[in-house]
Structure formats: C-alpha cells, structure tokens
Amino acid sequence: MGKLKIHPSLVTESAAKELTKLCPFGAIEYEEKENRLEINSACRMCRLCVKKGPAGVITYEEDQKTEEPGHALWRGVCVYVDHTGGEIHRVSYELLGKAKELAAVTGEPVYALLIGSGVTEAGRSLLRYGADRVYVYDREELSEFLVEPYAELFFRWIGEVHPSAVLVGATELGRALAPRVAARCKTGLTADCTALEMKENGELVQIRPAFGGNIMAQIVCPNRRPQFCTVRYKVFPEPTPGKEAVGELISLPVPEEALRSGVDVLSVTEKPKETDISEADVIVAVGRGAMSDAGLALAGELADALGGIVACTRPLAEGNRMDAKRQIGLSGRTVKPKFILCLGISGAVQFAAGMKGSDCIVAINKDKNAPIFDIAHFGIVGDVFEIVPLLLEKIREVRSHVS
C-alpha cells in the first residue's frame, strides 16, 4: 500500500480549488485563510488528483516494505478448532485438510489449537486429519465459550509457538474470537475467505468476495505475522481421516490469570435446532423466475418429494419472500449438497460461487443462454411451471412402484 502526500510549498489557491473540483469523492478540502489543503476519510485512492491535478501538489508514495526482525521465526499453519460441547465443527476438519495443502508449499508443520473442557480425546482424533501437533488447553472453567479467556489463551499460544498463518472457521464463535486475537497480535485479518493460496515465500493469499461479490479480492499481509483469516464452511473438501493417529498431542497448562473474565455464565439454554442449508444433501433452489407464491409452493412440493429443503437466491431474501438464512451465494450461505435443483435461476456469479461445488447440479430455465447452464451438469430449457409438475408426477410414479 502507499499514501497520498500533500506538498504545502506548492499549494496555491488556484491549485487547491482545481483539486477540490477534480476529486469525485469530495475528499479534498481547502482552508482558504490558512492556505491549508487536506485529504479526508472519503478518499478512495483513485489517484486522480495525482494524474490530473496540478503537477507535484499531491504525489503518491509507496510504503517501504520493512520485514520485521525475526520474521523467519514464524513457521507453520495453525487451525483453530471450533467446537460446541466437545463436538468439533466440520469446518475445522475442512481447514485441516486445506492447512496441510498450504503447509506443503513451504514445507512447514500443521498445528491445531483446541480450547475447552474435556476436549483432550477430541484433540487426539485430530491427529488423523493431518495435524502434526495438536495443542490442547483443557480445564473445567473453559467448558463454556467466554471470549476473554479464550482470546487470552489463543494469544499466549501464538506468542509461544509463532505460527506463520492462522485459519479460523467463519462460524459465530470464530467471528467473535478471531478479530480479538488478531488485534492483540497487531496483525491484519481477512474475514469470510472463500479460497486460500500459499506463495513459496510464505505469504498467504487470502481470497474473498468484494464490492458485493463483483470481484474476488486477493489479500496478503507481507509485513506482519501471523497471517489471520476466517474461512467459510463448505468451501473446502473435508479430508478422509487416516487409519492411525500420526503426530503429537501437547497438553498445555492454563494459568489462573488467563481465566479472568467480566462475564459469569449463569445458565445455558440450547437454541432450537434450525434447518441449515449448508448441511443439506438435497436442495431445491428458487430464483427470480419462480419467486411467485405458485413457484414457491411447487418448490416446496418438490423438496418434500425429494427429501430435501428449499433455498433461494438473493432477490427472494431481500424481498422477504424467504428467510435470509435460506439464501445461497457469496452474501448468503455456501452449500455443497449431493443434489441441487435450480428453478428459474439465471446463475449470477454470486450465486454460482456459493453452490458450484455441488455433486450434481440440475437447472431449469426458459433462457437457453442463462449462465446457470455453464455450471449445471444437466439442464432443461423450459418453463418451471410446466416442467416441475411433470417431475413431481414422475417422482410419485417411481415411488409408488418402489413401495
């Protein structure tokens, strides 16, 4: 990154007025009495003031890349293991598989960090998923997630082990914990990544959607360690566990001072279980072309007949036609079902990125040029309201013969 620099000796009233008029974001301000030119927070670094403004008044200067002393001491890819009641979230297994792939580029180890109560055996199982070392903080006081002690232990562990990169699942718990730890480490954090790559020099390329999913930003953190990111569930394949545990389990002491918290848990009430489209094996996804009451009713019938659930694209969630938790895409949930049937969905990149890893994609759309057909394994060109009733009839006919 660089910065814009104002050269006060070259600031004149005419130059300042030209610059304020030139900036499309209104980010340049001029104080006439003091002949002072300033750039405010509205600046988008378009550098139009440098390219088109009066020569030399504002210049763009690249930051000097200064590698921290001891940078080479940071080695290894760490996965923070998310769990509830000792049950490990599947995203942690996905991240271990990806961590092994990333670490292979630089020849570094894979670490797993587990914090909780009664989690040692769960930690031992992680050795079958590619972790070279599993570090466990296991103490009764850590049975419930409290962000202060968890963040303190996480931060202390980083200070002792010095991992080069840290991967955290983008769950509710991960999103609460990761920013706090990254801030303590005075390093950056890229949230909700959908892809990761490792350079040979150890830089982690963190890829995530930006500007409403219209571009995929590639973010690196060259000057600070560790490199922190949270990663969406279902974007990486879950590795197959090995038959035997390979690696080392390391139990760590929990200092009393690390348990301090301003929160006391008086009781825990379990949230009623909701249907999570990320976990579904069969999905009937509804788009703008089938968002009428009749279309949603047909989708519901089809989902029931197939033993699946109904999901939607962004227009339906924004139009309050369906719950936002049922939305598939970069601004919704990432899914990877065994079978997904897309009804009246054009296939915008934001939606496609959230479901293209599905095992079998079938699309029905009137437009033969719809982008959804580029990723679908099977496509039907036609009216959803004509084709779906025929599918329902055929499914029921097959089921009656089977029963």
Of 108, 115, 114, 110, the C-alpha closest to 97 is 110
* Token pair 């199982």 in the structure block, residue: 125
User: What's CA 272's distance to the chain center, in Å?
Assistant: 25
Question: Tell me, what's the pLDDT at 348?
Answer: 85
Region of residue 6 (phi > 0: left; psi between -120 and 50: alpha; otherwise: beta):
beta
Per-residue pLDDT at 67: 47
Secondary structure (3-state) at 330: coil
Dihedral of CA atoms 191, 226, 180, 185 in degrees, nearest 10, equals -150
Q: How far apart are CA 328 and CA 336, in angstroms?
A: 10
Encoded tokens for 258? 């690390």
Positions in the chain short of pLDDT 50: 66-69
The C-alpha R_g of the chain, in whole angstroms, comes to 26
Q: Both tokens of residue 218? A: 């590639």
Give the model's pLDDT for residue 69: 46
What local confidence, expressed as pLDDT, does residue 403 receive? Answer: 59
Over residues 127-140, the pLDDT tens digits come to 888 889 999 999 88
Q: DSSP labels for 247-276? A: SEEEEE---GGGG--S-------PPPP---
SS3 (DSSP) at 100: helix
Distance CA 137, CA 117 (A): 8
Measured distance CA(25)–CA(44) in Å, rounded: 8
* H or E segment to which residue 160 belongs: helix 147-161
Burial 243-252 (b: 16+ CB within 10 A, else e): eebebebeeb
CA distances from 322 to 273, 279, 286, 333 (A): 18, 18, 10, 14
Residue 51, φ and ψ in degrees, nearest 5? -75, -40
pLDDT value of position 402: 66
Domains and CATH numbers, the chain: 2-62 (3.30.70.20), 71-259 (3.40.50.620), 277-398 (3.40.50.1220)
pLDDT recorded at residue 324:
87
Angle, helices 172-184/147-161, rounded to nearest 10 degrees: 50
* pLDDT attached to residue 212: 63
Nearest partner of 207 among 225, 188, 229, 185, judged by Cα: 229
Contact of 334 with 232, CB cutoff 8 Å: yes
